[in-house]
């Protein structure tokens, strides 16, 4: 970042600063004192630095006492009985209908301690929402450390997002959406059948069909179907991909390993051994919906190329394993959770790209993705790829397959 | 709702060294509670000041302070061995500050968040503090961090080098340049202050 031309700071100024920081060698002190005695500018600098330092040292700021209490609570070291506190907190929260807080509480850092903090909060007589720095009446009983200042404010934080609950809700909504989509499809089919039958009957009998009745019947059928499958609250609860302008994009960044394509008894070629991060790929993707993502992927990968051609009229066989840089468009489909495990989801994906100085490349993979809690997910799958390349005007191709493992992280907002 | 008030009966451990206290974090809750409290009281001011100066937001600094000590407790419970406690704690705080800055969009901080909390400070000193705060904000981030670690946190060059993962020479240069820039920015005011004092 910075050129270190004044690295050793051999100037009187450098020595002065080092001396004032207690970092000057003792041998250099006397020359500095001599310089100070004869150099008013240096004395002025010393005075200025002392003034700044004096002001800085007066800028003493102790954190609010609430932080210590919140820390002990978050760390699970509150003096209140943890078990009783948690139970009481849960019961009280349920009684107040604060289910969302109760859900978040499960995954709060040191959930037991958060329960204790909430009990502390509730004991103080306030039943409203928990807010930062809310001013509370004095507690009924001291639960803090003996002798420490009374805690007049309490801030309860639930810093960890309840991803498991969000995933479960998403899955539920996705299932409901699928059901509604299916219902709409059935309804459309029934409507089409009805119209076909009506037209056929009119054609055969040449008797005009009362259009008002038919329309009314259709509308009634539609309304009946809607009433049976669509609950207004559910419809409005669909997660939509609408983002505020200020929201960061919901990007997913994934790093994955790719198959080497080499046999286990085969020596690793120098082109692979010397390459940085061979057989790896990095992708950045955006969600289209709950299951679909598109993005870009690029990687560095070794491809075994073995082909026969002629050289000066003589048949020759080439065998090489260049490590190529490639990039392309990536599509991922991640299905709903399976085996009743939230977070365990099968996936398929494909990438169409181009390997530099070689040719088009295509790959596809399928496997399982596991997202325990939080924005990080792990994947394991089977990957197959094909590369085409040109040699002496002739197109050649090579394929390989193997396991792929990946780790991804969601960043940005997810409304 | 049954709440019991626990009476502390364990020994007072205020004389233990940082590393002795850190080692007690792995013990049962009462001892860990006491050790964490002591460590917090020894270092919270430094960590809070650092977070406040780096993030420029008192509320965020409070959050990061709390998170720093939670992570410290986690490390202690996992039995992680450390050698330099202040540097280790400061490294945790620094990483949290960097993470926070990385994931947060730069926002305007309300003026009231920049209030100066020094008490019993003469008017001139308050004015100087405000100017220093402003000058710090225009310093390049690495210089500001080095200056804060040195002047506000009292870390040695070696400890700062440990915390920020740079050589001691880089630390030395950054602190030197930070002070030079601060002095350059504040020179007119310091001269004026000197004149007023002389008068």
Joined tokens for residue A75: 């760390």
- Tell which residue, B83, B58, B185, B180, has the closest CA to residue A45: B180
pLDDT at A109: 46
Residues B98 and B145 grouped into a single domain? no
Question: pLDDT of A64-92, one tens digit each?
Answer: 888 888 888 777 765 543 333 333 333 33
A313 with A168, same domain? no
Rounded Cα distance, B44 and B21, in Å = 15
Residue A384 and residue A356 share a domain: yes
The model's confidence at residue A58, banded by pLDDT at 50, 70 and 90, is confident
The upper half-sphere exposure of residue A308, i.e. CA atoms within 13 Å in the direction of its Cβ, equals 3
The residue of B27, B158, B176 whose CB has the most chain A CBs within 10 angstroms, and thus the best one to mutate to test that interface, is: B176
Query: E strand or H helix at A179, and its extent?
Result: helix A163-205
Indicate whether B85 and B131 sit together in one domain: no
**Domain holding B41: CATH number?**
1.10.1740.10
CB-CB under 8 Å, A68 with B37? yes
The upper half-sphere exposure of residue A130, i.e. CA atoms within 13 Å in the direction of its Cβ, equals 23
Q: What range defines the domain where residue B127 resides?
A: 120-199
Q: Where a domain ends, among B40, B72, B104?
A: B104
A8: three-class secondary structure by DSSP: coil
Partner residue opposite B183 with nearest CB, options A49, A67, A76: A49
pLDDT digits (tens, 9 = 90+) for B67-96: 999 999 988 888 888 888 888 898 899 999
Q: Report yes or no on A185 lying in a domain.
A: yes
Residues B86 and B130 in one domain: no
Which stretches of A250-400 are DSSP H helices?
270-273
What is the ipTM score, two decimals? 0.70
Interface test mutation site (partner A, options B179, B180, B191, B195, max chain A beta carbons within 10 A): B179
Q: Give the structural domain span for A41.
A: 12-58
- Burial (CB < 10 A; 0-12, 13-18, 19+), residue A88, is buried
Q: Is residue A191 part of a domain?
A: yes
**Which residues of B are less than 8 Å from A72 in CB distance?**
33, 36-37
Whether B112 is covered by a domain: the verdict is: no
**Per-position b or e across A168-199, b if 16+ CB within 10 A of its CB:** eebbeebebbeebeeeeeebeeebeeeeeebe
How far apart CA B63 and CA B70 sit, in angstroms, is 11
Backbone angles phi and psi of A155, in degrees to 5: -120, 115
Alpha helices (H) along A261-336: 270-273
User: Mean pLDDT for chain B?
Assistant: 78
Check B121 against A4: CB less than 8 A apart: no
How many angstroms separate the most distant Cα atoms in chain B? Answer: 67
Specify burial of residue A117 (Cβ count, 10 A radius: 0-12, 13-18, 19+).
Answer: buried
Task: With beta carbons under 8 A apart, name residues in chain A contacting B150.
Answer: 21
Over 70: is that where the pLDDT of B3 sits? no
d(CA A207, CA A110): 76
CB A114 within 8 Å of CB A88: no
Bridge partners (DSSP) of residue A249 are none
**Number of alpha carbons in the 13 Å side-chain half-sphere of residue B104:** 14
CB A326 within 8 A of CB A298: yes
How does DSSP classify residue A345? E
CATH of the domain at A394: 2.40.160
A82 occurs within a structural domain? no
Q: Apex CA A299: angle with CA A294 and CA A301, to 5°?
A: 135
Selected residue with higher pLDDT from A148 and A254? A254
Number of domains observed in the structure of chain B: 2
pLDDT digits (tens, 9 = 90+) for B139-178: 888 898 999 899 888 888 988 998 888 898 899 999 999 9
- Spatial neighbors of A191 by CB under 8 A, at least 6 apart, are A218, A221, A222
């Amino acid at each position: 970042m910075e050129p270190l031309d004044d690295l050793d700071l051999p100037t009187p100024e450098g020595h002065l600063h080092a001396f004032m920081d207690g970092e000057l060698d003792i041998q250099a002190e006397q020359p500095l004192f001599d310089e100070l005695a004869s150099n008013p500018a240096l004395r002025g600098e010393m005075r200025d630095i002392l003034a700044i330092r004096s002001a800085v040292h007066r800028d003493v700021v102790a954190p609010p006492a609430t932080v210590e209490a919140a820390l002990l609570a978050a760390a699970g070291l509150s003096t209140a009985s943890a078990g009783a506190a948690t139970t009481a907190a849960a019961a009280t929260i349920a009684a107040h209908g604060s289910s969302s807080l109760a859900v978040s509480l499960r995954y709060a850092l040191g959930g037991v301690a958060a329960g204790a903090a909430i009990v502390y909060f509730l004991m103080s007589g306030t039943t409203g929402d928990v807010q930062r720095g809310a001013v509370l009446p004095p507690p009924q009983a001291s639960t803090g450390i003996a002798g420490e200042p009374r805690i007049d404010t309490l801030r309860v934080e639930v810093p960890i997002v309840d991803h498991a609950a969000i995933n479960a809700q998403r899955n539920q909504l996705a299932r409901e959406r699928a059901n509604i989509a299916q219902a709409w499809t059935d309804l459309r089919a029934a409507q089409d059948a009805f119209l076909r039958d009506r037209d056929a009957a009119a054609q055969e009998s040449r008797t005009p069909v009362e259009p008002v009745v038919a329309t009314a019947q259709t509308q009634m059928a539609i309304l009946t179907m809607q009433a049976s499958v669509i609950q207004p609250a559910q419809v409005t609860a669909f997660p939509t991909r609408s983002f505020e302008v200020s929201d960061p994009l919901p990007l997913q960044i994934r790093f994955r390993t790719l198959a080497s394509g080499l046999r286990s008894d085969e020596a690793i070629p120098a082109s692979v051994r010397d390459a940085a991060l061979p057989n790896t790929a990095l992708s950045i993707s955006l969600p289209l919906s709950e299951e679909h993502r598109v993005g870009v992927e690029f990687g560095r990968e070794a491809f075994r190329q073995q082909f026969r051609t002629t050289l000066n009229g003589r048949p020759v066989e080439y065998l090489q394993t260049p490590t190529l840089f490639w990039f392309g468009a990536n599509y991922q489909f991640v299905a709903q959770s399976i085996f009743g495990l939230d977070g365990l989801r099968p996936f398929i994906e494909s990438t169409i790209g181009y390997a530099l100085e070689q040719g088009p490349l295509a790959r596809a993979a399928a496997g399982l993705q596991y997202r325990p809690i939080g924005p990080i997910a792990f994947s394991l799958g089977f990957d197959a790829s094909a590369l085409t390349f040109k040699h002496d005007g002739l197109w050649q191709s090579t394929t390989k397959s193997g396991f792929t493992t990946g780790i991804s992280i969601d960043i940005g907002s997810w409304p | 709702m049954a709440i019991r008030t626990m009476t502390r009966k364990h020994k007072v451990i205020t004389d233990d060294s940082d590393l002795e206290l850190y080692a007690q974090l792995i013990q049962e809750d009462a001892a860990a509670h006491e050790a964490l409290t002591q460590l917090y009281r020894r270092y919270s001011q430094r960590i809070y000041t650092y977070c406040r100066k780096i993030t420029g937001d008192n509320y965020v600094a409070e959050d990061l302070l709390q998170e720093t000590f939670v992570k410290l407790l986690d490390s202690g419970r996992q039995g992680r061995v450390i050698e330099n406690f202040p540097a280790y704690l400061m490294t945790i705080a620094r990483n949290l500050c960097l993470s926070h800055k990385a994931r947060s969009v730069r926002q305007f901080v309300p003026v009231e968040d920049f209030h100066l909390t020094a008490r019993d400070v003469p008017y001139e000193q308050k004015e100087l503090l405000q100017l220093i705060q402003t000058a710090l904000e225009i310093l390049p981030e690495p210089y500001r961090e080095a200056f804060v670690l040195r002047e506000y946190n009292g870390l040695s060059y070696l400890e700062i080098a440990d915390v920020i993962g740079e050589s001691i020479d880089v630390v030395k240069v950054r602190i030197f340049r930070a002070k030079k820039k601060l002095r350059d920015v504040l020179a007119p005011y310091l001269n004026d202050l000197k004149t007023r004092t002389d008068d």
